[in-house]
Amino acid sequence: MTRKIRKAAVIGSGIMGGGIAALLAGAGINVLLLDIVPFDLTDEEKSDPAARNRMVQNGLNATLASKPSLFMTKKDASLIEIGNLEDDFDKLADCDWICEVIVENLAIKQDLFKRIDGVRKADSIISSNTSGIPLAKMSEGLSDSFKKHFLGTHFFNPVRYMHLLELIPGAETKQEILDFIANFGEVNLGKGIVWAKDTPNFVGNRIGIQGMGFVMNAVVEDKMSLAEVDGIFGPLMGRPRTAVFGTSDLVGLDTMCHVADNTVELCPEDDMKDTMVVPAFVKQLVTDGKLGNKTKEGFYKKGFTPEGKYFKHQIDPQTGEYVEIVKPDFPCLAEAKKMESSADKLKAIVYGEDKGAKFAWKCVSNSLQYAAKRVPEISDTIVEIDNAMKWGYNYEMGPFETWDAIGVKESCAKMEAEGLEVPANVKAMLAAGKETFYKIENGKNCYYDFPSDSYKAIELSDSALSLEVCKADGGLVKTCASASLIDIGDNVYCLEFHTKMNALNEEIVNFMGEVYDFLDENAAGLVIGNQAGGMPGAFSAGADLSFVSKMAHAKEYDKMDAFLEKAQMGMLKMRYASFPVVAAPYGMTLGGGCEVCLAADKMVAHAELYMGLVEIGVGLLPAGGGCLNLWKNYIDALPAGTQKDTDLAKLFVPTFMKIGMAAVSMSAAGAVANGHLVPNRDRIIFNRDLQIGEAKKEVLRMVEDGYAPPRKTRVRVIGREGQGMINAEIFNMLQGGFLSEYDAELAKRIAFVISGGDVKKNTEVTEEAILKLEREAFVDFSKHEKTIARIDGMLKTGKPVRN
């Protein structure tokens, strides 16, 4: 038998249940979403199916309305069937996976599982998304078969965006079930799997809540303001912008307190449980109903004054009153800002001398202690803890990686000097001469394993190819400050960008030219991709604008044209090269980044893809083949022999609109709808960790299938007939005040380029001709003061200028 999830059930349609249902639907799974029949139905409503489904319908509606959207595309909702736990319960018999996401109440859960035990098909999987109730208690007294197929599947909110999925085996869960769900979670749902034990709050929330609890108590002791703390524990320390208190407001103070109280209550053996006792000022906020963003006030209160002015106030932990925010101004933060690497930034903060730095050290050292003491209680390895914090809390580094970054030996010495406890297992590790938790050995990322006092390879699936490991293992073929060519095995190479936001610059363009001959001679194929961090991160945020700005100001138009031509011809050469090129876009893939992908043979895109040709925002147009290749995506979608008789306007207008309106997708599915991704050619994968590995597989598959470069043909265009349409329509938008005069000018010229220039409709022109039109327009635009103002404005403020 091959296990499959033909249909999954999600029971409970709240924010988590709805999110899980949306994720499953996005992965193409049929979902049955159930919730209770409302308690307060009138006698008349009791026989009305719509009223009986009101709860689940509202849940689904809320999921559809969520922002940022929990659905990859709203169309996915058609895969979700809704029902209630009375009328539709028997439908669970058809489901291969039943995921429970109901209220955190043991008795109610037990009752539900008992009913499920009665109707489920013999080999179906049952899981609970509980965060605090022991699995063992929930399945008590149920059938053997149930227990063998039962496990914990703990997703994080918002489900679509949070990478973490904690899996908790029950005492009797079959290994086959665990293996299956782990693979399904990783590949189909794109999650990072962390194996947890059946201990309260599992891994992420156990570590996370302790860290937050400690900080909340410490602000009172040390008389710190909330904004000061959030200023420290933000991006400079590799944490999300919302830091500690902002994140609590996001999660909800009630939820956070519940998790903290739960840990204190259920972990009597935890010697640091006192650090999680919620301080009085926080308890008071919860009592007062100040629960965070959902009640409009919590640790922070944001809003508008009667005069319409925006304000944001913070709670003073000493008085419990909202007070003005004073921006934190600690020398350690200024120092950290100067540092390049994350490790140096961290060091600058935790080893600083000011009040903020001391506070940071106090909290960080405590959380490191706590994490070390939880192995093996909550997980067998340090890797699970680090991953949980990275994937569930969006930390750039987990506690043990943080420890490596600030120096294990150095920090332990400081702890000891200050009379702080260094956990015994860490002490022993240092004593054994091991000074880091991680290292790369034999081309593998290894972690320190406490019980065996040795480094063990981190076990990853085959596709989890790490460029960092390849490089460390001697795979670096050629490199420069902006890009590298990496041997990723089997004669496949990866072209990696590594500039800020992976912006494309002259060095990258030159580099692509320089590696061509090497690739032609040695490569089976090429992957263009990178593994930069961030959520969502950036495959490439576009061309390096400062470079364009410099040429525009210096009026170096010949140089500009030459640069563009080099970029265009480089990509064209790759397109028709002897080897397949697969691009692996994820996150922000904008402007030039998008053009690089459009020029490839194929894309293996991550589901979280924000792709678009956005050049018009800075007064430019795609001139790296973007106009040409987006048009080709549209017109090449036509079946053979139908181009000539098709009304090209139906393809031309949407192509023009995507560029003229700078359309950016909100998911890979959205990029398909926009025409940037091509169905049946490009692939969408859910797990970014597997993206480069999957792209490599794709290259090898193309080679195995007998790769030959595409035949170079002329491109059929709409010509002047398309220009007339756009010229007329632009006038309407201009009259309506929807465009500026300059927008209109840009749009008309862009239409001219996409339409193929001064030709009649249906003429076939060379690719080079359209590329030349792109370049000419780009150079002409950059001569215009309004384009220069747009570019400089973007460089200065990061926001588009309308002029």
For tokens 């900080």, name the residue.
215
C-alpha 699: how far from chain center:
24
User: Please, what is the minimum distance in Å from the beta carbon of residue 645 to other proteins?
Assistant: 13
Question: Which is nearer to other proteins, 167 or 730 (by Cβ)?
Answer: 730
Which C-beta is closer to other proteins: that of 518 or that of 731? 731
The beta strands (E) that lie in 198-292 are given as: none
Two tokens at 241? 């912008």
For residues 588 to 627, the per-residue mask of contacts with other proteins, x marking binding by CB under 8 A and - elsewhere, is: ----------------------------------------
Q: Which residues inside 748-767 make contact with other proteins, applying CB under 8 A?
A: 748
Is there a cis peptide before residue 654, judged by omega within 30 degrees of 0?
no
Angstrom distance (rounded) from CA 186 to CA 462: 12
Question: What gap in Å lies between CA 179 and CA 769, rounded to an integer?
Answer: 54
C-alpha span between 436 and 408 (Å, rounded): 6
Task: Specify burial of residue 238 (Cβ count, 10 A radius: 0-12, 13-18, 19+).
Answer: buried
CA distance 95 to 29: 11
70 to 109, contacts with other proteins by CB under 8 A? none
Residue (555 or 802) nearer to other proteins, CB: 802
Which residue of 342, 723, 782, 787 would you call a contact of other proteins, by CB under 8 A?
723
Dihedral (Cα; 262, 359, 221, 266), 10-degree rounding: 10
61 vs 735, which CB is nearer to other proteins? 735
Which amino acid, one-letter code, is at 187?
A: V
Selected binder of other proteins within 736, 796, 797, 798 (CB under 8 A): 736
Cβ-based nearer residue to other proteins, 51 or 725:
725
Integer Cα distance of 774 and 754 in angstroms: 8
Beta strand 715-716 with 764-765 is antiparallel
Which of 355, 281, 278, 294 is CA-nearest to residue 322?
Answer: 281
Which C-beta is closer to other proteins: that of 473 or that of 721? 721
Looking at the Cβ atoms of 549 and 723, the one nearer to other proteins is 723
**Contact between 780 and other proteins per CB under 8 A:** no
Binding residue (CB under 8 A) for other proteins from 344, 421, 721, 780: 721
Q: Looking at 49, 533, 534, 724, which residue binds other proteins (CB under 8 A)?
A: 724
Is the Cβ–Cβ distance between 245 and 224 less than 8 Å? Answer: no
Least distance to other proteins from the beta carbon of 651, Å?
13
> What is the C-alpha to C-alpha distance for residues 274 and 370, in angstroms, rounded to an integer?
12
Residue type present at position 155: F
Q: Which stretch binds other proteins (CB under 8 A): 24-32, 122-130, 590-598, 722-730?
A: 722-730
Binding residue for other proteins (CB under 8 A) from 491, 720, 784, 801? Answer: 720
158 upstream amide cis, omega within 30 of 0: yes
CA distance 100 to 152: 9
CA distance 192 to 388: 8
Q: Which of 68, 419, 737, 798 binds other proteins (CB under 8 A)?
A: 737
Between 581 and 754, whose beta carbon lies closer to other proteins? 754
Q: Can you name the residues that pair with 439 across neighbouring β-strands?
A: 446
- Per rule CB under 8 A, is residue 518 in the interface with other proteins? no
| Encoded tokens for 267 | 């972990």
779 is a contact residue toward other proteins (CB under 8 A): no
Instruction: Calculate the dihedral angle through the C-alpha atoms of 74, 75, 80, 83, rounding to the nearest 10 degrees.
Output: 70
For the chain, the first-to-last Cα distance in angstroms comes to 64
Between 491 and 727, whose beta carbon lies closer to other proteins?
727
Interface segment toward other proteins; rule CB under 8 A; list 5-13, 491-499, 516-524, 734-742: 734-742
Q: How far apart are CA 460 and CA 440, in angstroms?
A: 14
- Told to check if 284 binds other proteins by CB under 8 A, we report no
In the bound state with other proteins, the residue whose beta carbon lies nearer, of 713 and 732, is: 732
Reduce the DSSP state of residue 398 to 3 states and report it.
Answer: coil
**Angstrom distance (rounded) from CA 674 to CA 594:** 12
User: Whole-number minimum distance, CB 118 to other proteins, in Å?
Assistant: 34
Give me the least distance between CB of 760 and other proteins, in Å please. Answer: 10
Comparison of 641 and 737: residue with beta carbon closer to other proteins: 737
Asked if the bond preceding 306 is cis, omega within 30° of 0, the reply is: no
Nearest distance, CB of residue 774 and other proteins, angstroms: 19
- If one asks whether residue 728 binds other proteins (CB under 8 A), the answer comes out as yes
Site size toward other proteins (CB under 8 A) is 18
- Residue from 731, 764, 785, 802 that binds other proteins (CB under 8 A)? 731
CA angle 337, 343, 344 (to 5 degrees): 45
Rule CB under 8 A: choose which of 646, 727, 762, 763 binds other proteins.
727
Residue among 650 and 783 whose Cβ is closer to other proteins: 650
Q: At its nearest, how many Å lie between other proteins and the CB of residue 186?
A: 38
User: With b meaning 16 or more CB within 10 Å and e meaning fewer, what string describes 104-119?
Assistant: eeeeebbebbeebbee
Measured from the CB atom, is 221 or 741 closer to other proteins? Answer: 741
Contact status: 514 vs other proteins (CB under 8 A): no
Q: Which amino acid is present at 455?
A: Y
Residue closer to other proteins, measured from CB, 576 or 731:
731
Compute the distance between CA of residue 561 and CA of residue 772 in angstroms, rounded to an integer: 9
Window of 361-369, 599-607, 663-671, 729-737 that interacts with other proteins by CB under 8 A: 729-737
- List the one residue from 105, 522, 735, 740 that touches other proteins (CB under 8 A): 735
CB of 643 to other proteins, least distance (A): 16
- Does 536 sit behind a cis peptide bond, omega within 30 degrees of 0 on the bond before it? yes
Task: Out of 55, 348, 368, 730, point to the residue binding other proteins (CB under 8 A).
Answer: 730
Please tell me the distance from the alpha carbon of residue 638 to that of residue 564, in angstroms, as a whole number.
30
Sign of CA dihedral 396, 399, 405, 411: positive
**Which one of 25-33, 291-299, 498-506, 720-728 is the stretch in contact with other proteins (CB under 8 A)?**
720-728
Residue 61 lies near other proteins (rule: CB under 8 A): no
- Least Å from the CB of residue 730 to other proteins: 8
In whole angstroms, the minimum distance from the beta carbon of 737 to other proteins comes to 4
Residues 646-685 within binding reach of other proteins (CB under 8 A): 647, 649
Smallest gap from residue 635 Cβ to other proteins (A): 17
β-pairing, 30-35 vs 609-612, is unpaired
Does 732 bind other proteins (CB under 8 A)? Our answer is yes
Nearer to other proteins, 312 or 644 (CB): 644
Point out which residues bind other proteins (CB under 8 A): 647, 649, 720-721, 723-725, 727-732, 735-738, 748
